[in-house]
Amino acid sequence: MLEIINVDKNILKLKTNTLVIGVFKNEKYSGVLRDVNSELDGVLRSISKDRGFDGSEGDSVTVNATYGKIGASRVMLVGLGPKSDYTRSAVKKAAILAAGELRGHTEEIAFSSEFSRIEGGIAALIEGLLEGSYDFDKYKTEAKPKKEFKKIQLVSKRLKEGSLKEEVRFAKVISDSIKIARDLVNEPPLYVTPAKLAEVALEISADTGLGCEIFDRAQIEKRGMGGIEAVSRGSDVPPRFIHLTYEPKKYKDGRKPKKTIAIVGKGITFDSGGLCLKPADSMRGMKMDMAGAAVVLGVMKALPELLPSVRVHGLIPASENMTGAKAYKPDDVIRAYNGKTIEVINTDAEGRVVLSDALSYAVELGVDEIVDLATLTGACMVGLGSFTAGVMGNDQKLAQRILRASEKAGEKMWQLPMDDELRDELKSSVADIKNAGSRLGGAITAAMFLEQFVSNVPWVHIDIAGPAYSEKRSSLRKVGGTGFGVSTIIEYIQGK
Ligand code: BES
Ligand code: MN
Ligand code: ZN
């Protein structure tokens, strides 16, 4: 259990294994930095210079403190980037870095006051520490448990005990949700099937009192969810439609919901491409095609602890996309939940097909806003790279709210235009709409397809194909699921 304590002490005397000091880009040696440096006979400055450490984000340098000179045994300098654009995201990155380097070596570290100096800084610090301490080693038969951080000392003069507690609690809730999302993405597809996602939803419901309804294959067919039915047909594992509900009205001071929103997550537990089979190299990593669903589960789990005043429906169409004898085919025409017909051009454009049912279901629930998260297109990654999600929608105000929430949450998102001239790409000669256009503008035409199923409800689509999964290891990222989207969606829901 992580204990956070606020200390108001001379930082030179503070007893700790490692004192982590946040340093702005090209910061002058004044204050704490100057004092510690001079106690250590200038070693901080000279080693920083040797290593080229200048306070850039993602950079750090660690030195052993000569015994007895200061209270700490080690000092770690971590870059916070330019002081002029100091945000929570810089704090979070610095904490991820500190956790990556120090976890396993010590159970106790201390942080200088820069970290608590901005609003939400402490939450960002804890989130970063917990995120940076994340491992997925369940399947490593020889993995040894690592020492976890037990005690974190925060040096700060102005902190009130109550606000510290609240920020720490908030950070732990968010971190827990991010961990749920990362674990689900990292698990192999043999384990995370649609039935497993449904089981996780039921567990969350049992633990928290959220409403939970699950439709199995028979109910999906009976209710006319033709998209999920079609995509799931090529697989031996049956699909599920998952519906979790958070109702605020029974909580504290009799608040009634101001609004009802739906968050919808693509839940393709493995995407082989179907009959339009992916080449082997592109199929690798397709266990992550349920990352949107993982975000929805993580967020829903957090709501009963955060008690926002809006009603939230979490919807997940869950299926595999496989090549079995009954698989849906190019040229098939299928009927979505809202009655619209879809001509299948490419069975690998399956995400939008299952989402068509979930989005029309959200409309039927009478929600005021819909936000969907989906690892929807390779085209979005080509356009924006691996670290930024694409934002599209039918309502600029809602899009702006999502973009603002993402900035606060420190998750990079960028809006793409719904260019009317692209709409012809999806015109079908036999059905209401085709499920794929040409390669050009692929992220946008995918969103235009989804738009056909949200009626006139304000809706935003977040294409997380890039940032949901990290292919490469770096000082800030481990290979695997990232939990991208959880923080933004919670920020958006809380910001009501
Ligand atoms: N799940 C993929 C998109 C994807 C690709 C996510 C790479 C993460 C990494 C999606 O189902 C897909 O296959 N999309 C196709 C659409 C095309 C057939 C119109 C794509 O992007 O190539
Ligand atoms: Mn696909
Ligand atoms: Zn897919």
Residue nearest to atom 17 of ligand 1 (CA): 349
| Ligand 1 pocket mutation pick from 377, 382, 422, 470 by most atoms within 8 angstroms of CB | 377
**pLDDT given at position 253:** 59
* Helix H or strand E encompassing 81: strand 72-81
- Here the tokens at position 23 are 């340093």
| Domain range annotation of the chain | 3-159, 174-495
**pLDDT given at position 250:** 60
Ligand 3 center from residue 317 Cα (angstroms):
12
Fold exhibited by the domain 3-159: Leucine Aminopeptidase, subunit E; domain 1 (3.40.220)
Rounding to the nearest 10 degrees, give the CA dihedral for residues 125, 110, 476, 300: -30
Q: How far apart are CA 22 and CA 366, in angstroms?
A: 48
Backbone CA torsion sign across 245, 364, 399, 201: positive
Ligand 2 center from residue 350 Cα (angstroms):
5
| Ligand 1 pocket mutation pick from 286, 345, 376, 384 by most atoms within 8 angstroms of CB | 376
- Kindly report, residue by residue over 173-193, the tens digit of the pLDDT: 999 999 999 999 999 999 999
* Helix H or strand E encompassing 302: helix 291-306
Q: What is the CATH number of domain 174-495?
A: 3.40.630.10
3-state secondary structure of 369: strand
Ligand 3 center from residue 58 Cα (angstroms):
32
Ligand 2 center from residue 86 Cα (angstroms):
39
**Fold equal for 3-159 and 174-495:** no
Nearest 5°: the CA angle 37, 43, 44 is 55
Ligand 3 center from residue 289 Cα (angstroms):
5
Q: How far apart are CA 81 and CA 116, in angstroms?
A: 16
- Within the chain, what is the greatest distance between any pair of CA atoms? 81
**pLDDT given at position 183:** 98
Closest CA to 80 of 96, 70, 62, 93: 93
**pLDDT given at position 251:** 55
Q: Which atom of ligand 1 is nearest to the CA of 379?
A: 21
Q: Which atom of ligand 1 is nearest to the CA of 282?
A: 7
Residue nearest to atom 16 of ligand 1 (CA): 349
- Kindly report, residue by residue over 102-121, the tens digit of the pLDDT: 999 999 999 998 898 888 89
Closest CA to 318 of 358, 262, 276, 278: 358
Residue nearest to atom 14 of ligand 1 (CA): 377
Please list the active-site residues: 278, 352
Which residues have any ligand 1 atom within 6 Å of their CB? 271, 289, 346, 348-351, 375-379, 436, 442, 465
* Helix H or strand E encompassing 5: strand 3-7
**pLDDT given at position 496:** 64
Contact 299, 354 (CB under 8 A): no
Which segments in the chain show pLDDT lower than 70?
Answer: 1, 250-256, 496
